[in-house]
Amino acid sequence: MAEPNPDRRNERSRQAILTAALELCQEQNFAKVTMEGIAKRAGVGKQTIYRWWPSKAAILLEALRDRARASDDFPDTGDIVADLRDQMTQVVEVFNDPVSAGYNSGLIAAAQSDPDIAKAIVDFIVQPRVEHCANRLKVAQQAGQVRDDVAAADIVELLYAPLYYRFLLHTRPVSVEQLDLILELAFAGLTPR
Amino acid sequence: MAEPNPDRRNERSRQAILTAALELCQEQNFAKVTMEGIAKRAGVGKQTIYRWWPSKAAILLEALRDRARASDDFPDTGDIVADLRDQMTQVVEVFNDPVSAGYNSGLIAAAQSDPDIAKAIVDFIVQPRVEHCANRLKVAQQAGQVRDDVAAADIVELLYAPLYYRFLLHTRPVSVEQLDLILELAFAGLTPR
């Protein structure tokens, strides 16, 4: 997505549009939200919106980036498994909250036919979180708590993928119980002792 | 999705519609295919299509069910890791083939706003494949090659989830190299030796 030109941007309209997009996505399924609906709720013309954003997914992505900078820190109590469980529990909660689940699944659905959205999700949402987790894992690797012959980013992928699998394929509910299974298997392995 | 009434169904029209849906999805992105386009290509009225299927995703799903019954068997050479690698390699190929990747990502995208599509994907595509793999894993568990205190279906999820993660989040290409990482970590675990 091209960055909109800040000079041409009225910050108050921008905020109204972002808020409208978030509100509408909370009230209805992302698939049902339209550019017209966002414009109407924000009290701006549809052309204003199209001048700044190419799609509703682009608006929602910017709204989420603006608002979700808080809980980026990864816990570090010295116990890597406990810290992973703590942070992964937050992800389980996000996937089980109807509003944030709707944002996430709607954006990921949009990404399947829009490479710009896909890239923005990776750059602004997935990658920063992967890095936070990878940094915590590197500390554990240095402390000898985790094998250091595997790239930390690869470990992050293996740990979080089963949450996304259930979330996007709708096979079973994403759950805290699932974390026990993931963490136990990831740390102990499948080979019989 | 409700099953269409077979009595009201003209098999020739049905096949024409399924073929048209597959062809159009091969020629353009799933998101761009319309019910009108499918009707036109199949040489039937749009009302005929809507009488039998509620959405283009439902048509595509039926087309894929009809045509993809072949490679259901899971290899069994006695070497569970080799057999998993063999079958997972086929999944990597599906996700890297533009046509089948388009079907899969388009259907999963549609599933995010349509619970009927989501259920059909699980029932007709995901679940049968999970069972084939789980059955192979159970043989390996009985042979003492895999820990038998973990449900085979849970192991399937952990092994395949990282492929879906890359495929749907577009973080990195789904790749055969990825299989080495998944299988090595899954069998050996993360705890330092």
Preferred mutation among A130, A138, A169 to probe B, highest tally of B CBs within 10 A: A169
Residue A70: its pLDDT value, please?
A: 47
CB atoms closer than 10 angstroms to residue A42: 22
CB atoms closer than 10 angstroms to residue A72: 10
Query: Token pair for residue A116?
Result: 């710009």
Phi, psi of B32 (to 5 degrees): -90, -15
The verdict on residue B46 lying in a domain is: yes
- Domain span holding position A48: 6-67
Residues A103 and A126 in one domain: yes
Q: Please give the share of chain A, as a percent, with pLDDT higher than 70.
A: 92
Q: Are B56 and B38 in contact (CB under 8 A)?
A: yes
* ipTM of predicted complex: 0.84
CA distance B70 to chain A (A): 22
Supply the DSSP symbol for B32: G
How far is residue B83 from each of residues A166, B66, B87, B91, measured CA to CA in Å?
A: 24, 26, 6, 13
The verdict on residue A175 lying in a domain is: yes
If DSSP codes are grouped into helix, strand and coil, which group holds residue A92?
A: helix
Residue B34: its pLDDT value, please?
A: 93
Q: How far is CA A90 from the centre of its chain?
A: 11
Domains of chain B: total: 2
Least confident segment among A1-15, A68-82, B132-146 = A1-15
Residues A132 and A48 in one domain: no
Residue A135 has pLDDT above 90, yes or no: yes
Residue A41 has pLDDT above 70, yes or no: yes
Cα dihedral sign, B103-B109-B110-B116: positive
What are A84-106's pLDDT values in tens digits? 999 999 999 999 998 889 889 99
Residue B89: its pLDDT value, please?
A: 95
Residues B57 and B83 in one domain: no
Residues A47 and A137 in one domain: no
CATH number of the domain bearing residue A151: 1.10.357.10
Residue B23: its pLDDT value, please?
A: 87
CATH number of the domain bearing residue B30: 1.10.10.60
CB contact under 8 A, B146 and A185: no
Residues A109 and A182 in one domain: yes
Query: Token pair for residue A153?
Result: 């980013």
More confident residue, B26 or A44: A44
The tokens 């890095």 sit on which residue? A131
Residue B71 has pLDDT above 70, yes or no: no
- B101 and A CB contact within 8 Å: no
pTM for this predicted structure: 0.85
Residue B7: its pLDDT value, please?
A: 52
Residue B70: its pLDDT value, please?
A: 47
Closest to B89 in 3D by CA, of B179, B190, B186: B179
